[in-house]
Structure 1
């Protein structure tokens, strides 16, 4: 619920930075202002606005904590692309790795070697198998994310009709968990909505754009597209916005306000959801610093202060939950800048 309270107050990223400067707890999160603490931020891929926002949050936390954060990563999100960056970070002796995993197991061996060398590992956004990391900072519960996306598409297509899913890569842990839950919920709670196809745009703009075109051509009765990835939803909206399908096919899912603003304002997209990725990167960095400082071990029940976000408790399997998804629409999208 922390995320909801921040967002409903109309907090944009710029304002959040200002609040952080005023927060009395910011310097008390793990890390204790140790200039020797070096944290490497490893997103799924570089050049992705979502991860640019999360890295901005990581750098905000680093400034408060007096630690160093560097971002590295591959150009494309693929299962093995992150391994060389993990190996390099471990060889450099970084204090902690903060990783959004492209695959739950492909980077496992590299992470185990890094941990053996003394590097703490925090996954965020997309998890590995639990044995490969110390903590997972989850943006929201998988159930909450799946439920919210189905609520949105059901509202927008009148509760009936054909829909498709445009996902990221076929190996993305978080995407697959959400899709599996959506499939279950569709079968039990939305009998008049049919999922006709799930396709993968590999978190690439052009690929996602082309997959959208193919979906609409293959399914002439399609009523909606759900894209649980920020790259995919923007590409789908861009295609629909200049096509005959505008106003006829709903597009929703998970996106950032800056990416989606023009499509909300021109009527292509009615509403979409997300958490605050800046807060996610901020929380992951606070958690990593707490691990490095020895304030927590990652055990269930551990608690730590996360600056302006307040106190968090580690749950089962080393999971820390940021909050619940938030819906962006024409009534509030102007309040946000990320």
Structure 2
């Protein structure tokens, strides 16, 4: 029985795929390869910072032809992140990206994903002791920690007591910045002292309450640092509601539109950040590189807005760039 013309064509296509090692070929002529599926697990869902990151990621996904999904836990409980990662392993997505609340807790889940052949990378905060393959870093710890300290000391004449209201107690990025702040304060500002560091989770109301308590405990406090995008407006609000604008100065890691009212009334002096949407874009670009089996170059032209992203092969880290100082002069340039 003679083969049909359709059978001959199909056989030729399959043989060509086998010879050339082409990806995306199937036994159905005319079918297309499925797009790369990338899933992001942020520290927590629903806050402006990760929503802005998601906006940039969606734009990159559209331009690069990949599928992107962001699935955030309701709280900063590491167990919630692990449950989401386990669900993504069951779905066998191509790349899992995580911003770990607790690097140690999430490491076994990352190992399980890798054992199942799923690529895993981190973004925003790292888990360097895990089996993650890449880390997309927004800025160096030195850059962020020093910028926060300098911005506050510029308002306190380089001295006085100040306190830090952080978020997740085990968040590696926040803890690395705090370590820099402590050492940098000792070295450059000997007349200044960090008197306390407290942790509010990712809850702005808790940050406000904690900041008020710190001002009560230390009546001579001159500064507060909000170490994340929920505690930055939280500490500024505490100063506003305590009627201590001009007496207690605040700086922090605040998204532009959330921190804008506090910049305008002086309860916050400066926000130290980076372009969060660009961080999301770079995350998707990096995940596609990983899925495609490509190693980033030392300097990468990612997009028109990201023309020279550096890659450190030893640390497997892509660096978005330098920190950005947000004040009343430039806050309206950012819509998130």
| TM above 0.5 | yes
Tell me if the contact between 1:290 and 1:304 (Cα under 8 Å) persists in the aligned partners: no
Q: Which has the higher contact order (CA 8 A, sep 6+)?
A: 1
Q: Distance in 2 between matches of 1:279 and 1:252?
A: 22
**1:310 aligned onto 2:307:** yes
Other-structure match for 2:320: 322
Normalising by structure 1, report the TM-score: 0.86
Normalising by structure 2, report the TM-score: 0.87
Q: Distance in 2 between matches of 1:295 and 1:224?
A: 46
Q: Distance in 2 between matches of 1:240 and 1:160?
A: 19
Tell me if the contact between 2:225 and 2:235 (Cα under 8 Å) persists in the aligned partners: no
Q: Distance in 1 between matches of 2:334 and 2:130?
A: 37
Other-structure match for 2:232: 233
> C-alpha deviations, 1:115-171, integer Å up to 9, x for none?
121211120111012432010000001000111001001001111110000101111
Superposition pairs of residues 26-45 of structure 1, within 5 angstroms:
35-45=34-44
- SS for the counterpart of 1:131 is coil
Other-structure match for 2:203: 204
Q: Distance in 2 between matches of 1:83 and 1:225?
A: 33
- Bigger radius of gyration, 1 or 2? 2
Q: Distance in 2 between matches of 1:158 and 1:117?
A: 55
The change in CA–CA distance for 1:158 and 1:231 in structure 2 (over 3 A counts) is same
Q: Distance in 1 between matches of 2:33 and 2:281?
A: 17
Superposition pairs of residues 234-313 of structure 1, within 5 angstroms:
234-296=233-295, 304-308=300-304, 309-313=306-310
Q: Distance in 2 between matches of 1:34 and 1:279?
A: 28
Tell me if the contact between 1:57 and 1:279 (Cα under 8 Å) persists in the aligned partners: yes
Tell me if the contact between 2:203 and 2:231 (Cα under 8 Å) persists in the aligned partners: yes
> C-alpha deviations, 1:19-78, integer Å up to 9, x for none?
xxxxxxxxxxxxxx9642110011000011101111111111100011111111211112
Other-structure match for 2:23: none
Aligned residues: 303
Q: Structure 1: where are the runs of 5+ without partners?
A: 1-32
Tell me if the contact between 1:35 and 1:66 (Cα under 8 Å) persists in the aligned partners: no
Q: Distance in 2 between matches of 1:311 and 1:302?
A: 9
Q: Distance in 1 between matches of 2:329 and 2:128?
A: 39
Alignment RMSD = 1.6
Q: Distance in 1 between matches of 2:274 and 2:157?
A: 25
